[in-house]
Chains A and B, each alone.
Chain A
Amino acid sequence: PIMTMCPLYVEKERHVKANAWDYNAKFCYADNHIKTSKYNIFTFLPINLFEQFQRVANGYFLVLLILQLIPEISSLSWFTTIVPLVLVLLVTAVKDATDDYFRHKSDQQVNNRQSQVLIRGSLQNEKWMNVRVGDIIKLENNQFVAADILLLCSSEPYGLCYIETAELDGETNLKVRQALTVTSDLGDITKLMNFDGEVICEPPNNKLDKFTGTLYWRDNKYPLDNDNMLLRGCVLRNTEWCFGMVIFAGLQTKLMQNCGRTTFKRTSIDKLMNTLVLWIFAFLICMGVVLAIGNTVWESWIGRNFQVFLPWDESQRSAVFSGFLAFWSYIIILNTVVPISLYVSVEVLRLGHSYFINWDRKMYHSQTDTAAEARTTTLNEELGQVEFIFSDKTGTLTQNIMVFRKCSIDGRTYGDVYNEFDQKVEITEKTACVDFSFNPLCDRRFRFYDSTLVEAIKLEDPAVQEFFRLLALCHTVMPEEKSEGHLVYQAQSPDEGALVNAARNFGFVFRARTPETITLCEMGQAVTYQLLAILDFNNVRKRMSVIVRNPQGQIKLYSKGADTVIFDRLDPSSEDLMYTTSEHLSEFAGEGLRTLALAYKDLDEDDFEIWMKKLLFASTVIENREDQLGALYEEIEQGLKLLGATAIEDKLQEGVAETIACLNLADIKIWVLTGDKLETAMNIGYSCNMLRDDMNEVFVVSGHTLQEVQQQLSIFFFDKACLISNFSVLRSAKEHILGLSRVGSAGDVEKTDMFLHDSVFEETIIAEYALVINGHSLAHALEPLLEHILLDVACLCKTVICCRVTPMQKAQVVELVKRHKRAITLAIGDGANDVSMIKTAHIGVGISGQEGTQAVLASDYSFAQFRYLQRLLLVHGRWSYFRMCNFLCYFFYKNFAFTLVHFWYGFFCGFSAQTVYDQWFITLFNIVYTSLPVLAMGLFDQDVDDRTSLRYPGLYKPGQQNLLFNKRLFFLCTLQGMGTSFLLFFIPYGAFSVMVKEDQQAFAVTIATSLVIVVSVQIGLDKHYWTAVNHLFIWGSVTVYFAILFAMQSNGMFGILPSNFPFVGTARSCLSEQSVWLVILLTTVVCVVPGLAVSFLRVDLFPTLTDKVRHLQQSRKREGPQGQNLRRVRRTSSRRSAYAFSHQQGYGELITSGKNMRASAVSSAHSPGRTPHSSNWIENMLKRKNEVSCISDESGDRAKNRLPSSSTEPELH
């Protein structure tokens, strides 16, 4: 209630005092109310109109309207422009209003969220919007942070708290924030009440990772940085509660300061359309000038003498001035060449196409209940022109579900099913599953089909037992047993979870761990192992080991890791086994499985003691600790005994291989950009058929320096350029030289040079190559020096896989292609790390239905499965593009035919800007008589149906080559329009010179009727798909034309406003003449037949694929549905798959230190019902990633099972 004078100066420094409302109010900081909506009820009209008139097209029509109000030049009544303009404005306004309504609703929802604020000594619930700067608020677990707050204290020790910043920066890992030590013990209300610290800090800004400030409290200064801050948009995780003091609120929070920078994507057709409108505008001016000159000449030769009957106005002092006026008059009557309804019709079409995408049941995923969604309505036709797809791997191509499929134990493989004839049986849904009922702790969702393994377990085969014991011991998984026998595993990588879970089912249940022990339930007996050391995983070691002491007192080292790494460290005694296992590994890899080799070693007590001492010493060293530890690990991991190998299936999403094959046939290049490791990525590349054994070469770039990368790329390019030139005899010489010169100056290839020769290279590719490039190399290759050669090489290759790329690099790669390849790019991904590329690409697609929503929120289209991409592009995209192009061609044709009649008439009416048509006809032609048929065509037309589009992916190519609408076609259809207008004018002209009723009004009605019929017939010929709606609209439009014609020229209308309806009776008397109908018939035929003949000849002599397919479709129509002829190609590769372990370093340490463990009793007592199974932080951290493979509790959250989690690779953080 205190009105304070707010200083208007720019905030240089922020002063905030805790619990001092009056003090803070002096500064008038923004409150926590946010507003993303643009209008309210009162401001809507003025602001919306203001915005709309800023658009060039609307401004143009406003200018025309003003011109029309000048009587000297007004050649049309005011309503001819205002009626369409109002209609257009109205449609747009309604759309804006609905959008804004939803923004209001979402604002309201955010503003009305509850938060607990400390007011007058007690915590009170307040709406978010009422939170003020300086307030102390309490946050609970899993709550969104309401404003940018300074963390004061939390439920965790040391004032720690964990937050997830996914909404803010897209990173899904947890981050730690810590309160200042002085404030961390303020944990109760009274202490907080009395807290009166003052923060002086930076003014609001948008830097998410930076904060500088000072806390002044009790005569002390404490520096503050970003680690003390919780920003709005973060979610508090894994922390019971915390208190914080609001520093920035509402629009001044860092999140909101980052808002509103979403770039507006426009399609290439949009841009072309704008260019064309400018051309048309120039053309309009030209016509105006020609006619104005005509007017000047006419007035000075004839008009001057004709003054007996038509004196010049006093305003019209000279012929030149008259010409000037005529220019403007003609601009007014010819304005319809720039179609006012074009933009609004295009919007309507796109909206309709978006709805068709939303409605498509074939893009609906029933398991997650997710339908496809077109989140932007402006990009649809671009979907029909995509040339490059950039795909994320995890969660997009793969489900991120790891399934234990096979294993090789002691030289024997398990996992395949054989029938009675000893033949391998394909595993299907129906294959009988192994019964694990002997094991009460089993995970009932676990599927395994080979019963021999269970038999081996039951026979207590020591190797098999040791194998599963290893799997149960050697990992960093955290177990949680919520009730007896209900185990939930929290694994940091899905592979690991899958392995532990497999061991669990085979009777080696990992049950509990403390920092020093691991408790297993081995075949029903609880066995506790002493955990002596975890030799943690890292990228260089590619393995992890544990050292445990079993109840018998033996010390054992269990190790698992990449086969090559493990094989190098084997005891010579395992050599034979190694060869057998190696064969098995190849076999597994051939099936696209991810493999790990397992080995163990018995340790001597004394040796271990000595080693352990060294380890303890090394771990206290400050310098080179990592290296020293690594050396020690290396030392002990020698002489291992091989146990076997596991094979895990990284489950591809359904239909990925088919989709990729199909998109490849449509000439779409698919690049995989993944944060995964090289091996994993290549593995997936093989399993989804992007990489094949029959490829000529898979070229791996893995240089570490700029020079290395340049060298590798250049050599490859040189090689291939030579090779290609051998293939193409004609161009060989030229290309050879070209190849050489390019390699020689790889760095500074001229851009123009590149454009010039791109196509030459591409079309001569016969051999198939694949390029695999890793993150380090990519970083170098993306430098300006190398990016051209990178692009050249990449475009030579059928497949490009970039691994270990950062989100930023993903965007850079997309940007690179976008910049240099004038091609439409599409990025598809599911995780926060894909957001940047989704936003950069022309079209961003998000995989929805999973937990992370970042990608979806940033995307233009979203659906649940990668395979829907095929349908989105080949069916919806293709249709949209096809429809939009046909629509535009016809629209321009129609408007030219309509408008240019005035041009021809100019030569016969003294260039006086007299209109041919009735004014009402001009008003209604575009918006009533011809709008619906063309809209129906733009919405419903299909040249081929969806099944055929998918069957013949080649049908997609015209879109990529921009064949259906380009400047040439625009020129042709305007030419056709001009021709039609010429005939429309001169045929009645010829006929009318001696007609009975040859007055202007009959002339107008004849031409108008011919025009309506001609354009209706033309659209009938242009249309490929006549639904009932099309019939209704076409016939309806013609009927409506006649109805309105007669109504407008009826006695009644004339009686009401004689001066506005001067055409009374014309239609009646004119259309009752047979000769008029003969003229109309003649005009129609003459206008339509040439086009018909040309298109027939084109189809007959040079049929496109589309024409052929349509023909085929027609003839096959009766034969019933055809099956997909894209068969799944199973690869028969012998390629060695490699270690694939999406692991992060450092968990071993956490486990052994016990930092991440908390007594479960305590945790359940603290956390209320809202987080049933919580809450050690590793769990939360991993929740997003490992859900499915790790949760063993069936009765648990079923939904989560269906939501394979997001794909962020741990290494990225």
Chain B
Amino acid sequence: MIGAMMASSYNEDGHITVSGPGGGTLRSKKPENTAFKQQRLPAWQPILTAGTVLPAFFIIGLIFIPIGIGLYVTSNNIKEFEIDYTGEDVSSPCFNCSQSFSWNSTRPCTCVIPFYLEQPYESSVFMYYGLSNFYQNHRRYVKSRDDSQLNGDMESLLKPSKECEPYAMNENKPIAPCGAIANSMFNDTFELFYNDPNGTKVQIPLSNTGIAWWTDKHVKFRNPGLNNPNLTAAFQGTTKPVNWRRPVYELDSAPDNNGFINEDFIVWMRTAALPTFRKLYRIINKTSNMVPTLPRGNYTLEVVYNYPVRSFDGRKRMILSTISWMGGKNPFLGIAYITVGSVCFFLGVVLLIIHHKCGNRSNSADISN
């Protein structure tokens, strides 16, 4: 066991010099007397007692239950109407369109779907399209875009990022916008008609602005050639995505909703979190306080059926919904709040009983060393 000493072990001089209490040329090694170094920092030391925990449970219960009820009522007040127009069924009006779909067809297939609204929709109505079993959140799908290109960067416009593969180049021309997301943009179009009881068919005006996030429209997405009003020129040298029928600069006639800043496009580019999702399509603005935005009655939805989903068992829906401060119709939050609130309250009661029956209230009495 003899020493495997460190080499430094004999650095100690043979003599030890220690300064006495009086003759201190050396600084004393006495540690400083600070609260920090002595671990005496003033501190709040909460402990779990019945007095703190049980009220917390009751308070949570008492707060959550009203919130839950509020949410539930709000959610119930939201009116929502949904049509699945995928056309799986032979009886479905879109059956033919869905069967005869082909990428190359030049003539758009239109299907007309009548429906009946049982309640009038008073406030502004949001029109959504919904897709199911559509994996917009697949990793390869999500990353298949070029944010620089979408931000109007000329270099990326002509030389899209590798991430966009295999939708980066087509026929040796860069695709604008590149990538799988843009390529798969939803391109069904809806028109909504109100069938007046007197027989006339009134087209309901659908607003296609204000459906995208402000930051997306004004920061994230920008057309190339910032001040170039001529989008066609700006997109010179690029080609449209493979699946698209029109190039990107022909998405809309309004110049502030065309090209990359087309709101339909922007909405599509904001990928959904889950494979079943809905995206805002149009807003039916409330026109006056007197007339409901959508009165009760018969309607016709005319769908230009362009978007194939049958190959992967996808579903397509059109949704009409009023909205509240908490978003669309979703009883989940309300129910969850009520449940959690009640459970907490109940737990509080149970704990209180347990505490009274067998709790260790005099638990400091039996401490022994």
Contact = CB atoms under 8 A, between A and B. Distances in A.
A190 interface: no
Contact of A306 (B38, B135, B219, B367): B135
A141 to B, nearest CB: 10
Contacts of A1093: 53, 57, 347, 351
Nearest to B11: A106
Contacts, number: 361
Given A371-B30, A1068-B215, A1114 B11 contact: no
Nearest to A1102: B360
Given A310-B138, A1115-B364, A262 B6 contact: yes
Nearest to B358: A1101
B16 A1114 contact: no
Interface residues of A, number: 141
Interface stretch (A149-157, A703-711, A1022-1030): A1022-1030
Contact of A1101 (B11, B328, B359): B359
Interface in B1-49: 1-12, 14-21, 26, 28-33, 37-39, 41-49
A665 B369 contact: yes
A1054 B219 contact: yes
Nearest to B183: A309
Contacts of B1: 807-808, 811, 835-836, 839-840
Interface stretch (B230-238, B247-255, B294-302, B305-313): B305-313
Contacts of A305: 311-313
Interface string A849-873: 0010110011000000000000000
B41 A144 contact: no
A651 B60 CA distance: 64
B141 interface: yes
A1020 B271 CA distance: 36
Interface string A351-378: 0000010111110101011110000000
A426 B351 CA distance: 58
Interface in B305-349: 308, 311-313, 323, 325-330, 332-333, 336-337, 340, 344, 347
Contacts of A261: 4
A1108 interface: yes
Interface size class of B (residues with CB under 8 A): 35 or more
B109 interface: no
A110 B143 CA distance: 61
Nearest to A1198: B20
Given A144-B14, A991-B333, A914 B137 contact: yes
A1027 B44 CA distance: 7
Interface string A968-1000: 000000000000000000010111111111111
Nearest to A954: B369
A69 interface: no
A1086 B340 contact: yes
Contacts of B367: 952, 1105, 1108-1109, 1112
A1112 B369 CA distance: 13
A313 interface: yes
Contact of B7 (A107, A996, A1051, A1092): A107
Contacts of B151: 1054, 1058
A676 to B, nearest CB: 19
A356 B39 contact: yes
Interface string A34-77: 10100000000000000000000000000000000001000100
Interface stretch (A457-465, A1077-1085, A1157-1165): A1077-1085
Interface string B148-167: 10110100000001100110
Contacts of B33: 361
Given A940-B41, A1202-B18, A36 B333 contact: no
A593 B45 CA distance: 48
Contacts of A1097: 351, 354
A167 B5 contact: yes
Interface in A1025-1057: 1025-1030, 1051, 1054-1055
A853 B13 CA distance: 10
Contact of B45 (A259, A360, A1025): A1025
Interface string A1101-1120: 11101011111111100000
Interface of A (DSSP majority class): helix
B5 A912 contact: no
Contacts of A142: 14-15
A990 B336 contact: yes
B19 A369 contact: yes
B210 to A, nearest CB: 13
A494 interface: no
Contacts of A857: 5-6, 9, 12
A1024 B135 CA distance: 46
Contact of B278 (A994, A1030, A1055): A994
A170 B271 contact: no
Nearest to B20: A1198
A1074 B354 contact: no
Interface stretch (A404-412, A618-626, A1059-1067): A1059-1067
Nearest to A305: B312
Interface string A16-29: 00000000000000
Contacts of B178: none
A310 B333 contact: no
Contacts of B276: 993
A909 B135 contact: yes
A1110 B367 CA distance: 11
A200 B191 CA distance: 108
Contacts of B139: 75, 329, 909, 912-914
Given A258-B4, A998-B272, A360 B38 contact: yes
Given A1026-B43, A1096-B48, A1100-B355, A309 B180 contact: yes
B363 interface: yes
A1056 B138 CA distance: 27
Contacts of A383: none
Nearest to B215: A1065
A308 interface: yes
4 shortest A-B CB distances, which residue pairs?
Answer: A1065-B215, A836-B1, A261-B4, A1003-B273
Given A107-B7, A990-B332, A1096-B50, 13 more contacts: A168-B2, A262-B4, A310-B184, A362-B38, A912-B141, A994-B328, A995-B330, A998-B273, A1055-B219, A1089-B340, A1099-B49, A1109-B367, A1110-B45
